[in-house]
Amino acid sequence: MADSVHSQIIKASGKEEPTIKQCNYLMGLYKDLIRKSILKKHSALQNAKSSDFPFFYNAKTKVGNFALHYLNTFSVQNNLNRGDVSTLISEAKEGNFTKAWIRPFLESANSYKKAS
């Protein structure tokens, strides 16, 4: 990995929580994979397959519900820190998408959306 902003964050982040900008950017990078991973059983998330609103928004301007859920619920439940999110971002920018977190994330988001 080149010495980028993300590699510096990974080295220095320790146990800091991710930022909303990181989570929003992550959702933007993974948007297509997330959409493809939404199953029929994710009934509360079906609109995310065809609409950016309100799930994704624009990764550079407004924050989407998926980014908020990742920051406030999923990262806390899974003890993910700033470095973990930067690792996912850095790898995705290099074309290496880590798919392992997507299914548990969608299960979590679907459960939350159903309950609210």
pLDDT tens track for 56-87: 877 567 888 999 999 999 999 999 999 899 99
Portion of the chain with pLDDT greater than 90, in percent: 66
Structural contact between residues 61 and 24, judged by C-beta atoms closer than 8 angstroms: no
What domain range is 45 assigned to?
Answer: 5-115
- Which residue intervals of the chain are DSSP H helices? 5-12, 20-29, 31-37, 65-69, 75-77, 82-93, 102-115
The tally of domains found in the chain comes to 1
Whole-angstrom Cα distance, residue 8 to residue 92? 16
pTM score, two decimals? Answer: 0.86
